[in-house]
Amino acid sequence: MNQMMTTTVVMGGLAPQPTMSHDEALVEAHRCLMCWDAPCTRACPTTIDVPGFIKRIANDDLLGSARTILESNILGASCARVCPTEVLCAGACVLNDLHERPIDIGRLQAYATDDVVFGDIELSVESVQSGASVGVVGAGPAGLSCGAELAKLGHAVVLYDARRQPGGLNTYGVANYKMDMATSLREVEFVQGLGVEIRTSTAVGTDVSVGQLSADHDALFLGVGLGSVPPLGLPGEDLGGVGDALDFIADVRAGKVDLVGERVAVIGGGNTAIDAVSQASRLGAERVYLVYRRDRDEMKAYPHDIERALSSGVEFIHWSAPIRIEGEGSVSALVCERTEYSSDGDLVSVPDSEYRIPVTMVLRATGQEKRVGFLDQFDGVETDHGGRVVVDDAFRTGNPGIWAGGDCVNGGKEVVNAVAHGKAAAMSIDAALRAAAGK
């Protein structure tokens, strides 16, 4: 049972283009002030030692730098690409206070991790096999992070995912211009190299029962994320060309979408809406509209992503709510009415303000539904009034053998938050398994 195991991960070939040249990275690394209290580290949900990894880049110790990052965040390579660094680590950089450009932490992090995660530099991990087995539902960032940490701690780990490919929204949801599907899948291979088994096309509750899962494993982690964007209940929503913005992004990532000559309207004001309009405009759509019922400063999407969408030609239509979709067989127009705040502060429609936007495609990006029905199958796992899984500080649910993390717990945040949850849950699962085994 207590067998010592050394896992060596070697990834060859197919490395993506380096995100920074060696000289560029050295110059940028030497700009870092190496602050002792590192506000950048405190701003990172996975508390990566940012000055530490940058110092190692400056000293030309790339493996040491990658190790520093990956010890805190096993998905450090994808976080380097998808994290909203402007509001996290780089947003906290003290150079901002000195009216200087903050350190480009995201690109330095990609530079440091690329050769280990996608290239041929080896990362050795030594672990003592515990003999315990953990089942992880969902191979998205939360599940991958939890699984990788548990594997490093010597536990056997099986990840189950309903989709054909692992990686969750890193593979299917995040916009292509931040990270493509191939990069996400390469990072998953790196995690598998740590000893994590992944069973794809295996939906828990359908292909494998909850009872079977509980019988097969000593502990469970739920990293099931959120569901699809539900219909808005608008007349005409069943017309061809109307759909879920998440399915659209997944199709774009699979190379299945041609938008030349299309006029696309995306309904919503969050990150999904912004990613969908940005993708649509980059794919050559004739006109791309973002339709949102409130003002720009009330949008949940990040300001830098909003600016990027605006600069790529997306037309923002504020103070507008859709009331029906018109067309014969397929959509020809989105009909909206104007909105405003009443004197009581409620959002109301403006009388007689109806107008039509001629479009050939309408995408809903109005919020993903929670997986409450699925979660109800697990005894003792409770959800709050918003459909989020209730967990304690160690990410343990009301069932002492089940932990949860990621979007299904926080209702939808960032990849780095899901990674942080997975890591914290893994530490708690490890402690519980060792306590149960009297170790």
Ligand X SMILES: Cc1cc2nc3c(=O)[nH]c(=O)nc-3n(C[C@H](O)[C@H](O)[C@H](O)COP(=O)(O)OP(=O)(O)OC[C@H]3O[C@@H](n4cnc5c(N)ncnc54)[C@H](O)[C@@H]3O)c2cc1C
308 binds ligand X (CB under 6 A): no
159 binds ligand X (CB under 6 A): no
C-beta separation of 166 from 202 below 8 A: no
Which 218-237 residues touch ligand X, going by CB under 6 A?
A: 223-225
149 binds ligand X (CB under 6 A): no
Q: How far is the CB of 289 from ligand X (least distance, A)?
A: 18
Q: How far is the CB of 246 from ligand X (least distance, A)?
A: 6
Q: Which of 241, 242, 240, 251 is closest to 275 using CA atoms?
A: 251
Q: Which of 229, 232, 230 is closest to 324 using CA atoms?
A: 232
Strand partners of residue 330: 240, 328
Instruction: Name the one range near ligand X by CB under 6 A: 49-57, 63-71, 375-383, 407-415.
Output: 407-415
318 binds ligand X (CB under 6 A): no
Q: How many residues bind ligand X (CB under 6 A)?
A: 39
289 binds ligand X (CB under 6 A): no
Which 115-134 residues touch ligand X, going by CB under 6 A?
A: none
Per-residue buried b or exposed e for 105-139, using 16+ beta carbons within 10 Å of the residue's own CB: bbbbbbbbbbbbbbbebebebebeebebbbbbbbb
| Identified binder of ligand X from the candidate list 178, 294, 296, 324, rule CB under 6 A | 178
41 binds ligand X (CB under 6 A): no
45 binds ligand X (CB under 6 A): no
C-beta separation of 217 from 133 below 8 A: yes
Nearer to ligand X, 61 or 180 (CB): 180
82 binds ligand X (CB under 6 A): yes
Q: How far is the CB of 243 from ligand X (least distance, A)?
A: 14
CA distance 109 to 69: 8
196 binds ligand X (CB under 6 A): no
Work out the angle between the directed axes of helices 50-58 and 22-31 (0-180°, nearest 10). 130
Task: End-to-end CA distance of the chain: give it in Å, rounded.
Answer: 12
CA distance 110 to 104: 10
Instruction: Name the one range near ligand X by CB under 6 A: 26-34, 102-110, 200-208, 386-394.
Output: 200-208
Nearer to ligand X, 282 or 324 (CB): 282
Instruction: Write the single-letter amino acid at 279.
Output: Q
Q: Which residues contact 260 (CB under 8 A, 6 or more apart)?
A: 283, 284, 285, 286
CA distance 425 to 403: 6
407 binds ligand X (CB under 6 A): yes
CA distance 185 to 227: 21
Q: Count of alpha carbons within 13 Å of 17, Cβ hemisphere only?
A: 5
C-beta separation of 418 from 223 below 8 A: yes
| Identified binder of ligand X from the candidate list 109, 414, 429, 433, rule CB under 6 A | 414
CA distance 413 to 382: 20
Instruction: Work out the angle at residue 272's Cα, subtended by the Cα atoms of residues 266 and 273, and round it to the nearest 5 degrees.
Output: 25
295: left (phi > 0), else alpha (psi -120 to 50), else beta?
beta
Q: How far is the CB of 41 from ligand X (least distance, A)?
A: 18
199 binds ligand X (CB under 6 A): no
C-beta separation of 117 from 160 below 8 A: no
374 binds ligand X (CB under 6 A): yes
Instruction: Name the one range near ligand X by CB under 6 A: 137-145, 279-287, 335-343, 391-399.
Output: 137-145
| Identified binder of ligand X from the candidate list 77, 92, 198, 249, rule CB under 6 A | 249
| Identified binder of ligand X from the candidate list 275, 288, 334, 429, rule CB under 6 A | 275
Q: How far is the CB of 111 from ligand X (least distance, A)?
A: 19
Nearer to ligand X, 114 or 275 (CB): 275
Q: How far is the CB of 401 from ligand X (least distance, A)?
A: 18
Nearer to ligand X, 173 or 322 (CB): 173
Q: How far is the CB of 291 from ligand X (least distance, A)?
A: 17
Q: How far is the CB of 217 from ligand X (least distance, A)?
A: 14
Strands 330-341 and 355-358: antiparallel
Q: Which of 116, 132, 312 is closest to 221 using CA atoms?
A: 132
Sheet (strand 219-222) strand order: 196-199, 156-160, 133-137, 219-222, 402-404
90 binds ligand X (CB under 6 A): no
Q: How far is the CB of 415 from ligand X (least distance, A)?
A: 4
158 binds ligand X (CB under 6 A): no
Nearer to ligand X, 126 or 207 (CB): 207
Q: How far is the CB of 389 from ligand X (least distance, A)?
A: 10
- The residues that touch ligand X, with contacts defined as CB under 6 A, are 82-83, 137-143, 160-163, 168-170, 173-174, 178, 203-205, 223-225, 246, 249, 271-272, 275, 374, 406-407, 412-416, 418
